[in-house]
Structure 1
Amino acid sequence: MELRQLRCFITVADSLHFGRAAQKLDMLPASLGRQIKLLEESLGCKLLVRTTRNVALTQDGERLVVAARDILERVDQVETVFRETLRERRSIVRVGAIDSAAAGLIPQLLPHFRDAYPDVDLQLLEQKTIRLLPRLLSGRLDVALVRPPELKDPRLMFRPLFHETAVVALPASHPLAAQSVISVDDMADEPLIVPDRRSRPHSHDLTMKLFIEAGLTARVAQIAEEKQTIVNLVSAGLGLAIVPRWASRLAVGGVTFVPLTVPAGSARNKLALSAVWLRDTRDPARDGFLDVLDQQLENLAETA
C-alpha cells in the first residue's frame, strides 16, 4: 500500500467518478484504475464497485476512506512541520524579474549572492512588469527587477539601477547587417517587429518614440509579445526589431545584432531598469540581495 494509491482512492471516493477523479489528479483514467487495482490487491479486498454508469464504495471501501483520510492528514501535517522548520533554518528571497533581467542580470549576480549568503535560497519568477508589481503588493514576492512605470504606487520603493543598451536585430543577409552601427534614419523604410504595448509598454514606446524624435513614422509590420518570438520573426525575414542587448544571447540562427545609435532625448530612458520592493518592510534576505546588487551594479551596467 502506497500513499499515492491512497490519494487516488480518496479522490475517486469523493467524486465516485473515474473520469473526474483522473482529471483532478492529472492522470489517465486507465492509470487511475491501475492504482486502485494495486491497492485492492495489496489489501486483499474489493474497495469499489464499478459499472458502466456509476461507481460505489464497498463496505471495505467505506472503512478505508476513514482510515486513509486520517493517514494522509497525518502525513501532510508531518510534511508541513518539516517544511516550516527548513524554512526557518534556510531563508528564502523571492525575486521577480522581467525577461532582460532574468536572462542578463540574474545569471551574473547569482554567484556573488550565493558566495555572500550561502544559507539563503533565491526563488526566481520571470514575468512582465505589469504582473510583477501586484505580486509585490500582495506579498508573493520580496523584490523585483522591473521597468519603472510612469505612475508609481506609493506603497512601493523604487531604486533606479541603469539603462539597458538598445541594439537592432536584423537578418544576417540584410544590407544593414554589415554596418558597425545603425541609426533610426537607416531604418526609415524598413518593416518593423515591435512588442505589444499592452504587455510591454516600455519596449513598444522605445521604438515608436525613437522614430517620432527622428521625424519618421515607424512602419510596423508585425506585433509580437515575447523577445524570443520577435527574434525568431526577424530570422524569418519579416522585419527588423529594436531590442535590449541581452536578446543577442538568444540562440537564433540567421540573426545579426548591430548597436543602435540613440540620440539624446526622452526615448533613451525607455529601457530603464529598477529594483522595487514593498515600502516600510524589513527582510534580511531581501536586503542582502539588494546589498549584493549594489556591490555589483557597476559591472552589471557595463554589460547591460
Structure 2
Amino acid sequence: MDLHQLRCFVAAAEELHFGKAARRLEMLPSALGRFIRLLEDDLGTRLMARTTRSVTLTADGAVLLKEARVLLAQADALADKFRHSSRKQAATVRLGAIDSAAAGLVPMLLHDFRERCPDVTVQLIEDKTIRLLPRLLSGRLDLAIVRPPENPDRRLEFLLLLHETAVVAVSDRHPLAARKRLTVADLADQPLIVPERRSRPHSHDLTIKLFAEAGLEPRIAQIADEKQTIVNLVAAELGAAIVPKWTSRMAARGVRYVRLAASDMNRLPLAAAWTRGTRDPVRDDMLEMLQARLSHYAREA
C-alpha cells in the first residue's frame, strides 16, 4: 500500500465514478482502476463494489476512506513542513510551463524576477498541462504556467493570467504565406495539423471551435503531439496549423506565422497554478512579480 494508491482510492470513493475521479487526478480511468485493484490485493479485501452502472463502497471501503483522509492529510502536512524548511535553506523555485508560455511569457518573467531576486535559482521544466499538474500535487514543482483544465483539481489554486491569441503557421512557400491576415474561411480547403485532444485539449478545441463558428468543417490531415513537431510538419509543407502566438518564437526554418482574424474564439487561456493552502516565500515572490507585470506581458500575447 502506498500514498498514490490511497489518493486514487479516496478520489474514486468521493466521486463514486471512475471517469470523474480519473479526470480529477489527471490520469486514465484504466490506470486508476489498476491502482485500486493493487490496493485491494495488498489489503486482502474488496473496497468497492463495481458494476457497469454504479460504484459503491463496501463496509471495509467506508472504514478505509475515513482513515485514508486522515493519513493523506498528515502526509501532505509533513511534506509541506520539510519543503518549507528546505526552501529557507536553498533559494530555488521550480517552475513548470507549457511550451508556448516557455517561449513567450517565461523569458520576460524570469528577466524581471532575476533583477528583483538575483540570488534565486529557477529550475524550469517544460511540459504539457496534463503532466505539469501532477508534478505540482506531488511537490516536484512549486509553480506552473498552464492551460486551466475544464475540471480543476480542488487541491490546486489557479490564477487566470491572460488570453494568448492564435496565429496561422504555414510554410513560407505556401500561397497564403504572403498574406498579412487570414480568416478561417481562407483555411477551409487546407489540410490542417492539429494536436491530440487528450494531451492538448485547449489547442485542439481552438481549431474545431473556430471552424464551427464559421460554419465550416476542418480538413484534419495530421495529428501530432508536440508543438515543435507540428511546426516542423508545417515547414515540410504537410499542412497549416492554428497555433498560439508565442509558438512563433520557437526556432523553425521555412515557417511563416500569419495573423488570424479577430474572434472571441481566437483566445487561449493561460493560468498560474500552485498547491492550495501551501506557503512558500520564494514562489510567492515570483507570483507577486507575475501579477505586478501582467499588463506588460499581456501586450505581448
How far the C-alpha of 1:176 sits from its partner, in A, is 1.4
Q: State TM-score, norm by structure 1.
A: 0.69
Secondary structure of residue in 2 paired with 1:164: strand
Aligned ranges 1:30-179 → 2 under 5 Å:
88-179=88-179
How far the C-alpha of 1:223 sits from its partner, in A, is 0.6
Give distance in 2, aligned partners of 1:250 and 1:93.
Answer: 24
Q: Aligned partner of 1:199: which letter?
A: S
Equivalence for 1:4: none
Equivalence for 1:268: 266
Unaligned runs of 5+ in 2: 1-84
Q: Is residue 297 of structure 1 aligned with residue 294 of structure 2?
A: yes
Displacement over 6 Å in runs of 4+:
none
How far the C-alpha of 1:251 sits from its partner, in A, is 2.4
| RMSD over equivalenced CA pairs, Å | 1.6
Secondary structure of residue in 1 paired with 2:293: helix
Q: Is residue 281 of structure 1 aligned with residue 262 of structure 2?
A: no
Give distance in 2, aligned partners of 1:170 and 1:258.
Answer: 8
Secondary structure of residue in 2 paired with 1:282: coil
Indicate how the Cα distance of structure 1 residues 86 and 139 shifts in structure 2: closer, same or farther if over 3 A, else same: closer
Secondary structure of residue in 1 paired with 2:262: coil
CA contact under 8 A between 2:157 and 2:275: conserved in structure 1?
yes
CA contact under 8 A between 1:142 and 1:286: conserved in structure 2?
yes
How far the C-alpha of 1:280 sits from its partner, in A, is 1.2
Q: Is residue 204 of structure 1 aligned with residue 204 of structure 2?
A: yes
Equivalence for 1:81: none
Give distance in 2, aligned partners of 1:283 and 1:92.
Answer: 11
Give distance in 2, aligned partners of 1:252 and 1:277.
Answer: 32
Q: State TM-score, norm by structure 2.
A: 0.69
How far the C-alpha of 1:237 sits from its partner, in A, is 0.8
How far the C-alpha of 1:274 sits from its partner, in A, is 0.1
What is the percentage of aligned positions where both structures have the same residue? 62
CA contact under 8 A between 1:90 and 1:119: conserved in structure 2?
no
CA contact under 8 A between 1:93 and 1:286: conserved in structure 2?
yes
Per-residue CA distance 1:180-199 (angstroms, 9 max, x = gap): 11000110111000011121
CA contact under 8 A between 2:169 and 2:234: conserved in structure 1?
yes
CA contact under 8 A between 1:182 and 1:259: conserved in structure 2?
yes
How far the C-alpha of 1:87 sits from its partner, in A, is 6.2
How far the C-alpha of 1:140 sits from its partner, in A, is 1.2
Give distance in 2, aligned partners of 1:148 and 1:167.
Answer: 20
How far the C-alpha of 1:174 sits from its partner, in A, is 1.6
Q: Aligned partner of 2:172: which letter?
A: A
